[in-house]
Structure 1
Amino acid sequence: MKHISIIIYEDVLPTAVSNTTALLMSANEAVVKRGGPAPFQVELIGAGGKNAQREIPVRFYCSKTISDDFDTDIVIVPPMSTGPGDIDELLSKNAKLISWIRQKYDEKAQVISLCTGAYFLAECGLLNGMPATSHWGAIEDLQKRYPLIDFKADHVVTYSASIVTGGGGFSSLNALLYFIEKNCGKDISIELSKFYALDYGRTSQSIFTIFSGRRLHSDDEIHKAQSYIEKKFETDLSVEQIARQVNMSKRNFIRRFKSATSLSPIEFIQRIKVEAAKKAFEDGETNIAAITYRVGYNDLKTFRTIFKRITGSTPVEYRNRYKTQAAV
C-alpha cells in the first residue's frame, strides 16, 4: 500500500482537494471489488495546523502536518485559490512547505502537482530542465518566473519517473487518472473516468485557452506594437508595417517581440485573430467563411489550419461545442 499525502495549505482550492480524495478513494474501492488489496492510504497533511478553515464553510481536518516525522510515497500538491497578484505572498508564507516538498522528493517520494500547484514544484527547483504544465492562464507568469522549465501550455499531463504535473482546472484530474493507471491498471482508470464523466485520454487543453495578450513584460515599445496589432488585426498586417510603427528594423523588432512575449509577431497576430474568431463562434455566429474574412484571412484552408493548431479543434467543432445562442 502506498502512502499518499495531499497537502492542505491556507490558500488551497477546496474543490480540488475533495475531488482528488474522492478519485483516489474510488480507486481503492474499485481494486478491492476485484479482489485486490487497497492500493492507497490517503491522508490530508497540513502545511500549518491540523485544522484548515477556508473562508467558505469548509473545514479540512489533517491527520498530520509537515512538522511531523513520517514517511510518504506520494506528495500531491493541489491548486491554489489565490489570484495572480498574490502569488509572491503565497510562496513566501509557504517557504517551509516548499522545502518540505523538496526534502520528500530527495527521499524518493513521487510528487504530483495539479493545476497551479505547479508553482510549488517550480519554486523548489524540481522542474528545472523538465517539461511541465499548469493552468493555461498561469503559463505566461510561470514562464517568466521560471525560465529553466519547459512549460507545455497545451498539455494536460506531463510526467517523468518521479514527477507528474496536471493542466488547468478539472483537466488536472487526468494527471490523477494517469497515476491511477500506472498503479492500478488501465481498466481501473477507464472505469473511474466513466463513473466521474472525465475525458479519458485527453492530451490537450488548448481548446479551453483564452489568449490574454502576453503583457507580462516591461518593453514599452513592444506594448505599443501589441496594441497596434490588437487594433488592426482585421487588416492584412505585415511584420514590416508593425515594426515601422515603433521605429525599429524588422530584424530588431522580431528579436525584441519574441524576447518580451515568447511569441514571434506572426504567432501573436495569429492568436489574436483566432481569439476573435472563437468569440464570434461563442456569440452564436455560424458562417465560418464570413468570420474568416472578418478576422483578416482570405483563405479558408489557411484559417482552418491555424485555428486547429492553436485550439486543437476545427472551426466547425469549436462552433458546435461553444455557441451560446442562435444565429441572427
Structure 2
Amino acid sequence: MKHLTIVVPDGQNNISSITGSYEIWSRANLFWKEKTGKNLFKIEVAGMSKEVEYEDGLFAVRPHTQITAIAKTDLVLIPSLNHNYRTAVKGNQALIDWIAGQYKNGAEIASVCTGTFLLASAGLLEGKTCSTHWSVAEHFRSMFPGIDLQTDRLITDENGIYTNGGAYSFLNLLLYLIEKKYDRPTAIYCAKVFQIEMDRHSQSAFIIFKGQKQHGDEMIREAQALIENNVHERVSIEHLSSRFAIGRRNFDRRFIKATGNTPLEYTQRVKIEAAKKAFETSRKTINEVMYDVGYSDVKAFRDVFRKVTGMSPLEYRSKYNASGATPTPLPAGRP
C-alpha cells in the first residue's frame, strides 16, 4: 500500500486545505476499494506538534502522528499557509528538512497555494517552474529569485513536484493527483461527489493585477505611474523611454528587472484590468470598454484580453456582470 502524508505546519492558520484534502482523498480511497477490494493509499496527517490551532483557537487539528515517526512516504501534501508564510517558514525548519529528505528518498511533493513557500525553502524548486496565489507573487519572487514563478498556471508538474494556485483551487490539484495516482474514473467520481469543476488549468481570470511596486528603481516606478494614470490613452513605449532620456533597450531591461514584465506586457495588463472592472460593474458594450482603455482594433483587444484572462471579453462579461446574467429560476416550493 502506498502512503500519503498531509503535513500540518506549526504557526499557520489555514485548515480547509488540510481537512478538504483528507476528506477527498479518503473518498477516492473508498471508491477504489469498492472497485478493487483494497485501499491504494494509507492516509496520515502528520505534524511537529500534538495539536495546532486555527482561526484564533476556534478550530484545532490533532495530527495522527509526528513527522519523525514517518521514515518513508510516497506523496507529501503541504497545505496553504495563508498569509503567514514568512512566520511559517521560520518556525518549521524541522518540517522543511523532513520534506527535503523525503523527496531525496523518492517521495513526490505537492504544495497548495502559499504552501509553495515551504517547498521553496526546502530547496526543491530552484531552477523549476511553480505556481502560488497571485496575491503573493511579488513577495515570492523577491524571496526566491531563482525560481520560475508562473501565477497564470493553476497546476505545475515537474520531476515529482506539484504546485498549484490560490485558495480553493487546491480542489483541482487534488483531482489532478487522484487521476494520476488512481485513474480517471476515480477523479470523475470525486468531482461529481464534491461538485468540483474538472480540468481547470489556469487561474488567469481570477488575478487582480496591481502592478509590481516592491523594487528600488524610481524611474521605473514613475513609468508605471504614467502607464496606470493614462489607461485611456494609447501608450507608446518609445515615447515613454525617451521621456526618461534612456534608450529603448535599456528601458526594457530595467523594466523587466523591476517588474517581471516588459513595458508592453505591463501596459496590456493595466489596460485589461481596467477593462475587467468595466465589464464587472457597468453596462457598457465591448466596443465602448475597448475604446475606454485605449484600443481601437477589436481583434487586437480581444486577443490581448484572452491572453491575459484566458477568456474572451464576451465570456468574461457574461460570467462576472450580474446585470447581464439571467438567474436560473428556483423550483417552486411551499412557503
User: TM-score band, normalised by the shorter chain?
Assistant: over 0.9
What is the total number of aligned residue pairs between the two structures? 323
Q: C-alpha distance in 1, partners of 2:19/2:308?
A: 32
Q: CA deviation at 1:69?
A: 5.0
Q: C-alpha distance in 1, partners of 2:170/2:70?
A: 29
Q: Which residue of 2 aligns with 1:32?
A: 33
Q: Which residue of 2 aligns with 1:3?
A: 3
Q: Which runs of 5+ in 1 are unaligned?
A: none
Q: Which runs of 5+ in 2 are unaligned?
A: 326-335
Q: Which residue of 2 aligns with 1:50?
A: 50
Q: Is the 8 A contact 1:286 1:319 kept in 2?
A: no
Q: Is the 8 A contact 1:114 1:173 kept in 2?
A: no
Q: C-alpha distance in 2, partners of 1:50/1:320?
A: 48
Q: 5 Å matches for 1:144-159?
A: 144-159=142-157
Q: Which residue of 2 aligns with 1:199?
A: 197
Q: Which residue of 1 aligns with 2:277?
A: 279
- Partner secondary structure for residue 196 of structure 2: coil
Q: CA deviation at 1:146?
A: 1.8
**TM-score, scaled relative to structure 2:** 0.92
Deviations 1:101-122 (A, max 9, x none): 1011112111111111111111
Q: C-alpha distance in 2, partners of 1:4/1:69?
A: 11
Q: C-alpha distance in 1, partners of 2:170/2:129?
A: 15
Q: Which residue of 1 aligns with 2:67?
A: 66
**TM-score, scaled relative to structure 1:** 0.93
> 223, 226, 229: which is aligned to 2:224?
226
Q: Percent identity?
A: 35
Q: 5 Å matches for 1:243-254?
A: 243-254=241-252
Deviations 1:195-243 (A, max 9, x none): 2121211111111111121112111111111011110121121112222
Q: 5 Å matches for 1:102-141?
A: 102-141=100-139
> 307, 314, 317: which is aligned to 2:315?
317
Q: C-alpha distance in 2, partners of 1:214/1:133?
A: 17
Q: Which residue of 2 aligns with 1:268?
A: 266
Q: C-alpha distance in 1, partners of 2:203/2:176?
A: 16
Deviations 1:2-27 (A, max 9, x none): 22111112204111111111110110
Q: C-alpha distance in 2, partners of 1:69/1:115?
A: 24
Q: Is the 8 A contact 2:81 2:88 kept in 1?
A: no
Letter in 1 for 2:17: A
Q: Is the 8 A contact 2:318 2:324 kept in 1?
A: no
What's the Cα RMSD here? 1.7
Q: C-alpha distance in 2, partners of 1:13/1:197?
A: 21
